Chains A and B, each alone.
Chain A
Amino acid sequence: GQNIDQPTEMTATEGAIVQINCTYQTSGFNGLFWYQQHAGEAPTFLSYNVLDGLEEKGRFSSFLSRSKGYSYLLLKELQMKDSASYLCAVNTGGFKTIFGAGTRLFVKA
């Protein structure tokens, strides 16, 4: 079966660094995405990893290990506006993408 696991909730302090982990077991793998979703809004694209390693984009970085079925999203210099849900998603081949349940991040002052 298809399974994507990520923590349900996390809390961090403004200005700090937070790492959101994601593990996956899927029938196929053609890339892993991270999306940010604010309440009542659609997801917005953050990052894409298809090869092992770290991809850095400003305050956000994403890491992938295909052999371990593992990824993380790293958020630096946290801001209050970063409070949102973060969705880990795997493209399993073709055009199909499966989403994890999301991690709700609360940033406190």
Chain B
Amino acid sequence: GAVVSQHPSRVICKSGTSVKIECRSLDFQATTMFWYRQFPKKSLMLMATSNEGSKATYEQGVEKDKFLINHASLTLSTLTVTSAHPEDSSFYICSARGEGANNEQYFGPGTRLTVT
């Protein structure tokens, strides 16, 4: 099946710094990738839809200047959390839309961000 990787899997950073998370589709091309965040025991909350070669589409309430998304190629999307604060600590998961007709999404393993 399709494989999506994320890097890093865990990161701890200090308040005020920026963190970049990479999402890669390893064996297929993904024109569309999605970024979610998930709080403990809560469901996935869609943050933005990342489209290759164009600007990301952000969900209501998500600050695009704080969560910078770049989808530079058909296999790579990055999420940069700028000027991170403790409340940004969360589990960030990316997914890529598959090439099949059922619109299945393949999820990366997630990145645990802790801001101290």
Contacts and interface: CB of A to CB of B under 8 A. Distances in A.
Interface stretch (A36-44, A57-65, A68-76): A36-44
B44 interface: yes
A101 B43 contact: yes
A35 B106 CA distance: 11
A50 B102 contact: yes
Measured as residues with beta carbon below 8 angstroms from the partner, the interface class of chain B is 20 to 34
Nearest to B1: A45
B69 interface: no
Given A87-B43, A101-B42, A45 B104 contact: yes
A40 to B, nearest CB: 8
Contacts of B93: 42-43
A42 B103 contact: no
A99 B102 contact: no
DSSP class of B's interface residues: helix, strand, loop or mixed?
A: strand
Measured as residues with beta carbon below 8 angstroms from the partner, the interface class of chain A is 20 to 34
Contacts of B34: 95, 97
B102 A31 contact: yes
A45 B102 CA distance: 12
A44 B106 CA distance: 8
Given A87-B44, A101-B43, A95 B109 contact: no
A64 to B, nearest CB: 13
A106 interface: no
Contact of B43 (A30, A42, A96, A102): A102
Interface of B: 32, 34, 41-46, 49, 91, 93, 97, 102-110, 112
Given A43-B107, A45-B106, 10 more contacts: A40-B110, A42-B107, A43-B93, A44-B107, A48-B102, A87-B44, A95-B103, A96-B49, A97-B34, A101-B42
8 contacts: A44-B107, A87-B43, A95-B32, A95-B49, A95-B103, A97-B103, A99-B44, A100-B43
> Which 5 pairs show the lowest CB-CB distances between chains A and B?
A42-B107, A101-B43, A99-B43, A99-B44, A42-B110
